[in-house]
């Protein structure tokens, strides 16, 4: 589905990503791990065409490097930023409807299916997005992205700042999304969440992939955890 080869990204003269190779298969949940500032968010933004880059990004055998953001989205890639970008003055329903896209490539979701995934949103359908809790806003941004019918959804730090109960809700939601065949690329700081959810993991450091493996392999590799994942 997604195959990234020798990807380099730049902010001006700063060389952020340095030869990234990564792949995601259909229906997989893949997590990008690493400390803050190693380039994980930049990687997702590069996939979306938001960062100056070179290399190759194949999505369903289509080269998308250099394409405009809207074309990449219309091919079936969804993006949920860490900022929980909602329209605070619009209702939950209006926020969701703004996410609709005519996308012939992806997996279609109805409002009813999304409300089945997260009933709290249905109960607040006429409530402005700005009065929702942080966790509810996170659910709203994920569900709005699904309205665009993605085959791949990339989510940046979905559990940041959430209560333990809401973290569990997000985890359950992502599992349900994956079970419908949507691939997920996850940037996640909480190792437990990444270990529980992911089929495979990539560990990043200094703009490069320093390790790739199964969750069990990473979990048992104390050197990798100490060198690249522990926060001092």
pLDDT at 132: 93
Q: What is the mean pLDDT of residues 12-34?
A: 96
- The percent of residues above 90 in pLDDT, for the chain, comes to 72
| Number of separate domains in the chain | 1
Question: Mean pLDDT throughout 3-25?
Answer: 97
Higher pLDDT, 215 or 101: 215
Looking up residue 60, the CATH number of its domain turns out to be: 3.40.50.300
Based on DSSP, count helices (H) and strands (E) in the chain, helices before strands: 10, 10
Asked if residues 192 and 225 have their Cβ atoms less than 8 Å apart, the reply is no
Domain span at 80? 2-229
Is residue 105 very low, low, confident or very high in pLDDT (cuts 50, 70, 90)? low
What pLDDT score was predicted for residue 118? 82
> What pLDDT is attached to residue 103?
64
State the average pLDDT over residues 89-104: 86
Summarize pLDDT for 54-67 with one digit per residue, the tens.
999 999 999 999 99
Note the pLDDT tens digit of each residue in 138-188: 889 999 999 988 999 999 999 888 888 888 888 988 998 999 899 999 999
Using a 10 angstrom Cβ sphere, with 0-12 exposed, 13-18 middle and 19 or more buried, the burial of residue 222 is exposed
Whether the CB-CB separation of 93 and 110 falls below 8 Å is answered with: no
- The pLDDT assigned to 85 comes to 85
- By the 10 Å C-beta count (0-12 exposed, 13-18 middle, 19+ buried), 39 is classed as buried
Report pTM.
0.93
What mean pLDDT, rounded, does the chain reach? 92
Identify the pLDDT of residue 104: 64
Say whether pLDDT at 221 is over 70. yes
Confidence category of residue 9, pLDDT binned at 50, 70, 90 = very high
């Amino acid at each position: 589905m997604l195959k990234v080869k020798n990807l380099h990204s730049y902010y001006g003269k700063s060389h952020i990503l340095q030869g990234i190779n990564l792949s995601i298969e259909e229906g997989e949940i893949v997590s990008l791990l690493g400390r803050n500032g190693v380039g994980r968010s930049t990687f997702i933004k590069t996939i979306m065409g938001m960062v100056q880059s070179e290399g190759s990004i194949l999505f369903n055998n289509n080269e998308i490097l250099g394409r405009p953001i809207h074309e990449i989205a219309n091919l079936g890639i969804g993006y949920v930023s860490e900022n929980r970008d909602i329209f605070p003055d619009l209702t939950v329903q209006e926020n969701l409807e703004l996410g609709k896209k005519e996308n012939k490539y992806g997996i279609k979701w109805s409002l009813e299916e999304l409300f089945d995934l997260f009933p709290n949103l249905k109960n607040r359908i006429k409530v402005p997005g700005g009065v929702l809790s942080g966790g509810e806003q996170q659910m709203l941004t994920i569900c709005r992205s699904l309205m665009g019918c993605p085959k791949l959804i990339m989510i940046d730090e979905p559990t940041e700042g959430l209560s333990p109960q809401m973290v569990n809700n997000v985890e359950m939601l992502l599992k349900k999304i994956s079970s419908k065949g949507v691939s997920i690329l996850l940037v996640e700081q909480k190792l437990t969440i990444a270990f529980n959810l992911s089929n495979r993991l990539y560990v990043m450091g200094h703009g490069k992939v320093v390790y790739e493996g199964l969750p069990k392999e990473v979990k048992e590799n104390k050197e990798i955890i100490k060198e690249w994942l522990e926060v001092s």
